[in-house]
Amino acid sequence: MIRFMNLAVTESERDSLIQVILQVFNHGIFINGPELTEFESKIAKFHNRKYANGVCSGSGALLYALRALEIGMGDEVITTSLSWIATANAIASSGATPIFADVDSDLNINIESIEKLITHKTKAILPVHYAGRVCKIDEVLKLAKENNLKVLEDASQAIGASKNGILAGSFGDVSAFSLNPMKVLGALGEAGVVLSDNKEIKERIDILRYNGTINKESCIAVSLNGRMDTLQASILLERLRTFTNIIEKRREIAYYYHKHLEDVVKTPLENEGEKNSWYSYTIMGEDRDYLQKYLLEHGIETKIQHPILMPEQIAYKGSKCIIDNAQKIVKQILCIPANEKITKNEQDYIIERIRRFYGK
Ligand SMILES: Cc1ncc(COP(=O)(O)O)c(C=O)c1O
pLDDT, tens digit only, all 360 positions of the chain: 999 999 999 999 999 999 999 999 999 999 999 999 999 999 999 999 999 999 999 999 999 999 999 999 999 999 999 999 999 999 999 999 999 999 999 999 999 999 999 999 999 999 999 999 999 999 999 999 999 999 999 999 999 999 999 999 999 999 999 999 999 999 999 999 999 999 999 999 999 999 999 989 999 999 999 999 999 999 999 999 999 999 999 999 999 999 999 999 999 989 999 999 999 999 999 999 999 999 999 999 999 999 999 999 999 999 999 999 999 999 999 999 999 999 999 999 999 999 999 999
Question: Does 228 contact ligand 1 (Cβ within 6 A)?
Answer: no
Q: What CA–CA distances, in Å, run from 324 to 80, 82, 190, 314, 335?
A: 12, 12, 34, 18, 22
Q: Residue 268 has what pLDDT?
A: 96
Question: Does 86 contact ligand 1 (Cβ within 6 A)?
Answer: yes
Rounded-to-integer distance, Cα 144 and Cα 172, Å:
10
> Which ligand 1 atom is the nearest neighbour of the CA of 60?
11
Instruction: Determine the distance separating the centroid of ligand 1 and the alpha carbon of 314, expressed in angstroms.
Output: 19
Decide if 156 contacts 79 (C-beta within 8 A).
no
Give the residue among 11, 50, 15, 19 at the shortest CA–CA distance from 35: 19
Q: Residue 341 has what pLDDT?
A: 94
Question: Does 84 contact ligand 1 (Cβ within 6 A)?
Answer: yes
* Residue partners of 99: CB distance under 8 A and separation at least 6: 76, 77, 78, 79, 117, 122, 319, 320, 321
Domain edges within the chain: 11-240, 243-357
For the chain, the farthest-separated pair of C-alpha atoms sits apart, in whole angstroms, at 67
Strand partners, 162: 167, 275
Tell me which amino acid residue 14 is.
Answer: R
Give the residue among 152, 175, 227 at the shortest CA–CA distance from 43: 175
Question: What residue owns the CA closest to ligand 1's atom 9?
Answer: 58
Q: What CA–CA distances, in Å, run from 88 to 1, 61, 79, 151, 330?
A: 34, 13, 8, 15, 17
Tell me which amino acid residue 102 is.
Answer: D
Give the residue among 258, 327, 319, 270 at the shortest CA–CA distance from 88: 319
Decide if 355 contacts 260 (C-beta within 8 A).
yes
Question: Does 79 contact ligand 1 (Cβ within 6 A)?
Answer: no
Q: Residue 19 has what pLDDT?
A: 98
* Residue partners of 344: CB distance under 8 A and separation at least 6: none
Instruction: Determine the distance separating the centroid of ligand 1 and the alpha carbon of 87, expressed in angstroms.
Output: 7
Burial of residue 28 (CB within 10 Å: 0-12, 13-18, 19+) is: exposed
CATH domain 243-357 topology? Aspartate Aminotransferase, domain 1 (3.90.1150)
Q: Residue 95 has what pLDDT?
A: 98
Q: Residue 325 has what pLDDT?
A: 98
Give the residue among 309, 299, 308 at the shortest CA–CA distance from 337: 299
Termini Cα distance of the chain? 23
Instruction: Determine the distance separating the centroid of ligand 1 and the alpha carbon of 237, expressed in angstroms.
Output: 20
Beta strands in the chain (DSSP E): 51-55, 76-80, 97-101, 122-126, 150-154, 162-163, 166-167, 174-178, 192-196, 213-214, 218-219, 274-275, 281-284, 333-336
Question: Does 178 contact ligand 1 (Cβ within 6 A)?
Answer: yes
Tell me which amino acid residue 334 is.
Answer: L
> Which ligand 1 atom is the nearest neighbour of the CA of 305?
16
> Considering only the top CATH level, what class is 11-240?
alpha beta
> Which ligand 1 atom is the nearest neighbour of the CA of 59?
11
